[in-house]
Chain A
Amino acid sequence: EVVMTQSPATLSVSPGERATLSCRASQSVYSNLAWYQHRPGQAPRLLIYGASTRATGIPARFSGTRSGTEFTLTISSLRSEDFAVYYCQHYNSWPPLTFGGGTRVEIK
């Protein structure tokens, strides 16, 4: 079973700054990776699929990249609504469906 490890657990960033979140797979999942945003009290939202393709309606300040088994979600200039918890999830094989432990992006 593939294990997804996200780092850091918490990221403190000032509004307008760049945030870089990491997700590492324990074995290759190719580009079969999605990112989600979860704000408190709201339903999670799909941000990225295929490691780098933005979902419908997702602003261009969100971008995803892949290097081997390392995946990165970058938020280029943080806005107030971007402070949330972010999860990666691989879909190279199912079941199971595996999420990373999450990265909380908080206001510095």
Chain B
Amino acid sequence: EVQLVESGGGLLQPGRSVRLSCAASGFTFGDYGMHWVRQGPGKGLEWVSGITWNSGTIGYADSVKGRFTISRDNAKNSLYLQMNSLRAEDTAFYYCAKDISVDSNTLYYLDYWGQGTQVTVSS
């Protein structure tokens, strides 16, 4: 059974940093692309960042480019999101999600999602 478990969220002050983690199990993590997707209060789903299986191609939403960094450790079956220079508008529930792409340099759609972790940015 595929499982994705996010951690690392919390209440943070504007300008601070935090690293989210996603522990994956139930599939060969190193073969698949992965994403972070968020949902702000009262808003829809917003894609944040994606990374291919070998970290060869990485993409970011314009809203986080230059502030957030996605990474993965295939040996540890883990996905990360380093979030710097946090803003109030980064307040959201952050989901880790698995892409269907296998050993590919592009990403497609998301077939499994975690339960998410809440990040609140407020002074």
Contacts and interface: CB of A to CB of B under 8 A. Distances in A.
Interface of A: 32, 34, 36, 38, 42-46, 49, 55, 85, 87, 89, 91, 94-102
B113 interface: yes
22 contacts: A36-B110, A42-B115, A43-B113, A43-B115, A43-B116, A44-B110, A45-B113, A46-B110, A46-B111, A91-B107, A94-B59, A95-B50, A95-B59, A96-B60, A96-B61, A97-B47, A98-B47, A99-B47, A100-B44, A101-B44, A102-B44, A102-B45
B40 interface: no
Interface string B87-110: 000000001010010000011111
B108 A91 contact: yes
Contacts of B111: 46, 55
A36 to B, nearest CB: 8
Q: Is the interface of A mostly helix, strand, loop or mixed?
A: loop
A4 B45 CA distance: 12
B47 A85 contact: no
Contacts of B31: none
A98 B44 CA distance: 11
B109 A49 contact: yes
Instruction: Give the interface centre of A85, A94, A96 by most chain B CB atoms within 10 Å.
Output: A94
A46 B109 contact: yes
Q: Top 8 nearest A-B pairs by Cβ distance?
A: A95-B59, A34-B109, A43-B113, A97-B47, A102-B44, A91-B108, A99-B45, A94-B107
Contact of B106 (A42, A55, A94): A94
Nearest to A103: B44
Given A43-B113, A46-B109, A95-B50, A38 B45 contact: yes
Nearest to B111: A46
